Structure 1
Amino acid sequence: MTGLILAAPSSGAGKTTVTLALLRLLARQGVAVRGAKSGPDYIDPRFHEAACGRPCMNLDAWAMSPDRIAALAAGDGMLLIEGAMGLFDGAPPDGRGAVADIARLLALPVVLVVDAGRMAQSVAPLCVGFANHDPDVCIAGVILNNVGSPRHEAMLRRALEGTGLPVLAVLRRDPDLALPSRHLGLVQAEERGDLDAFLDRAADRLAEGCDTLAITALARPLPAAGPHRRLAPPAQRIALARDAAFAFAYPHMLADWRARGAEILPFSPLADDAVPEADLVFLPGGYPELHAGRLAASARFLPTLRARAQTTPVHGECGGYMVLGETLADADGTRHRMAGLLPLETSFETRRLHLGYRRLCAHGGPFCGTFAAHEFHYATTLRAEGPPLYDAWNAEGAALSPMGQRRGRVTGSFAHVIDRTD
């Protein structure tokens, strides 16, 4: 039970591509390896699972306690943690929640992934600066990404000689390894029909210049997992929307609910499934704006959702919240009728980024108490009426406008709950 972290000086360095390539390469070599993702990310972990065939959890040093992180990190084999943003980048004002916090909490070494596409000798001061920045964060080596040629590689290796930072792998520039993105991140793993071929190509390319024995030798034992509090299920039988439009449900939350006796009943709104009979209907976030016409035309999903709401609590997060509203306008400005269970109208015609960690105190709904959460969406609220669901504060403790809505048995907000804080 060992671990290692892949981080980078900044976003856009190719951490995800390198992580996926290494996960697939190690799995092909028979190494028992699994992935984890630092921070609030729904999309990258599903790529990790596809790469190595094992579940991937989020480890969030802003939203989770150290005991919780240690428990989620525990498991058989080697854990490869992919960082978010830059190694020391976190929430304001002091960077709390950065992957560096995970490195300190779990006492794991960091391999720095550097996009070397536009540098040569400058790679040395960059890497040395990161290595010397914090004595409690050990930079154990470097992976050079986006390397242009053998001559370019030789220049980079020569620059790093004598720094004490070994070059553990080199990934050559390859346009076929680009991961397509959209407004909330990568195109989802389940939408990539060529995903296995992509993962194999990435692993093949990495294998050309990778010392996997040196990388696995760097992994260090994970701390023993002690007692930790699991999230209580909000109901005994939970109908969970799950498909490409509603994919943003945290695995640790669902695992907690199951571990404490809840039954999860998945259904697909995009397949026009009827909403199952349950004690709670949960619509998580995702990309309903890309499928708004299809959802609006559903013959079973929306009618049965409206019927269930007459007798059963219904809750939506972010995308699910928008579907509970009256209308959702897509990027072209076309308005689509949604469930009409909340007095809410939203639009993607004019995008505006809403991003950040949140502290929430609930006035009702399935998540009663205080929670750490995050908000990440581009939707504009055209109209929202009715009593709010949460009092909210940002990462710096400043009070925000109350979030979400509640009407009868129906609740929702743009916030994604991560963990309980009370």
Structure 2
Amino acid sequence: MSFVIAAPASSSGKTTITLGLLRALSHDMALRGAKSGPDYIDPRFHEAACGQPCLNLDAWAMTPARIKALAAGPLPLIIEGAMGLFDGAPPDGKGACADLARILDIPIILVIDAAKMAGSVAALVKGFMTHDPRLRIAGVILNNVGSARHEAMLRRALGEISVYGAIPRTPDLNHPSRHLGLVQAQERSDLDAYLEQAATIMQQHVDLASLRTMLAPMPAAGKTTRMMPPAQNIAVAQDAAFAFSYPHLLQDWRDAGAQISLFSPLANEPAPTADFIYLPGGYPELYAGQLAANTIFLDSLRNSAAHIYGECGGYMTQGETLTDADGTTHRMAGLLGLHTSFAQRKLHLGYRNLQATTGPMQGRWTGHEFHYATTLKAEGTPLFRATDAEGTSLLPMGLIKDKASGSFAHIIDQA
């Protein structure tokens, strides 16, 4: 058994509470974190909190069999939901945290931001508990509670509904963020102190003993289709600028026998000799000047005989230029006829169905797009045909030219 931390809406405190629970409970038991949906940042915090690899479980992009196979293992899971419990992709909300709880048949702990309510909390919680009878909402954790009197009012209104904790308002636990979400785990020098503070608050204000009784390993699952590696020897960029690679994708490649080597473009390391170079997404715009000056890294891409594939930030790095938020234009690898800019920002967000008929990523894929970069110019052959979550055709995505290819989409699984 495991459980899901969900909420009626975003910004209710799910991430902080999940991190605090993972750190507090990991003091005397081994457990894992998981994140619902396409998220690269929260999982790294989960790993720091409990010392175990974190999973992405995506009920839109993955089959139920795939989700069950990833969730199975010797350690129980605490799964952090995304957005509100029933918030998924259009048109029907597929991929919501509620879908994940139904697929795995596990209970839900609902985090309620109670800062601006008292008796009304009962109507809210009872509505969520009865909205879908297939779900099991085990109880709630009240967040942003103003005082002991406020807590008593909330508990009295909830009656027999289980209250697993009441967490006081703690402004210094707020986590800094930027345009794609939280600041990354590796960027916080005070991360361990922050996690310990969150754990202490959970120990003081949450019934951890009751939550422990809900944690046990998930049952073994049947076989499922995994993603085959695009080559035998794969070099993967990995540092603060290229941090957005899904662990399940790299593990699929390893399980199929691929040899994976890691390197850091920010450290000006050359791409290792390989058959395939993978440049994941991340925050290259924050390090554009440094990357442009790292000629050992850039020359290794230009001179490599391997196919180079990039996603989002890795795609932009293969382009001709990248303009940062201050309007400074930096020369990139020049492998694709692509010019991108963060000085002209526009949000591009949503699930994507992708199909490539050429290059090393041939096939049908599910993926996700989330970026603010603007394409100033893109010249060449498109890489993917694409539709959105509703099946509406989109403009072709990405580019492929000779040994280089990529797009703004992050591949999640085979379609």
- The normalised TM-score by structure 2 is 0.98
Listed as ranges, the matches of 1:131-170 within 5 Å are 131-161=129-159, 164-170=160-166
Residue 236 of structure 2 corresponds to residue 240 of structure 1:
yes
Shift of 1:32: 2.0
Shift of 1:77: 2.8
Match of 1:91 in 2: 89
Shift of 1:209: 1.3
Residue 250 of structure 2 corresponds to residue 254 of structure 1:
yes
C-alpha distance in 1, partners of 2:86/2:57?
15
Shift of 1:223: 4.2
Contact 2:75 2:217 in 1 (8 A): no
* SS, match of residue 168 in structure 1: strand
C-alpha distance in 1, partners of 2:211/2:123?
22
Shift of 1:215: 1.4
Shift of 1:159: 1.3
* SS, match of residue 298 in structure 2: helix
Match of 1:222 in 2: 218
Please say which of residues 389-398 and 113-122 is displaced more in the overlay: 113-122
The letter of the residue matching 1:346 is: T
Match of 2:339 in 1: 345
Contact 1:57 1:252 in 2 (8 A): yes
Match of 1:112 in 2: 110
Contact 1:5 1:110 in 2 (8 A): yes
Listed as ranges, the matches of 1:2-401 within 5 Å are 2-28=1-27, 30-161=28-159, 164-219=160-215, 222-308=218-304, 311-401=305-395
Contact 1:354 1:375 in 2 (8 A): yes
* SS, match of residue 291 in structure 1: helix
C-alpha distance in 2, partners of 1:349/1:128?
46
Match of 2:397 in 1: 403
C-alpha distance in 1, partners of 2:126/2:218?
26
Match of 1:419 in 2: 413
What value does the CA root-mean-square deviation take over the aligned residues? 1.0
Contact 1:305 1:339 in 2 (8 A): yes
Contact 2:76 2:218 in 1 (8 A): no
C-alpha distance in 1, partners of 2:75/2:356?
39
Which deviations, in whole Å up to 9, do the C-alpha atoms of 1:107-137 show, x marking residues without a partner? 1110001111121111111111100100001
**Is there any run of 5+ residues in structure 1 with no aligned partner, and where?**
none
* SS, match of residue 84 in structure 1: coil
Shift of 1:365: 2.4
* SS, match of residue 345 in structure 1: strand
* SS, match of residue 213 in structure 2: helix
Identity score, percent: 62
Shift of 1:216: 2.3
The letter of the residue matching 2:392 is: A
Which deviations, in whole Å up to 9, do the C-alpha atoms of 1:138-181 show, x marking residues without a partner? 111000111122122111111111xx321101221111110111
> Paired residues, what number?
415
The letter of the residue matching 1:52 is: C
Contact 2:356 2:362 in 1 (8 A): yes
The letter of the residue matching 1:181 is: S
Contact 1:3 1:221 in 2 (8 A): yes
The letter of the residue matching 2:293 is: A
Shift of 1:84: 0.5
* SS, match of residue 395 in structure 2: strand
- The normalised TM-score by structure 1 is 0.97
* SS, match of residue 349 in structure 1: coil
Contact 1:8 1:15 in 2 (8 A): yes
The letter of the residue matching 2:23 is: R
Shift of 1:274: 1.1
The letter of the residue matching 1:237 is: N
* SS, match of residue 67 in structure 2: helix
The letter of the residue matching 1:408 is: D
C-alpha distance in 1, partners of 2:342/2:217?
46
Shift of 1:11: 0.6
Which deviations, in whole Å up to 9, do the C-alpha atoms of 1:200-222 show, x marking residues without a partner? 00010111111112112234773
C-alpha distance in 1, partners of 2:230/2:296?
25
C-alpha distance in 1, partners of 2:194/2:359?
42
* SS, match of residue 2 in structure 2: strand
Contact 1:108 1:220 in 2 (8 A): no
Which deviations, in whole Å up to 9, do the C-alpha atoms of 1:350-372 show, x marking residues without a partner? 21000000000103222210000
C-alpha distance in 2, partners of 1:287/1:356?
19
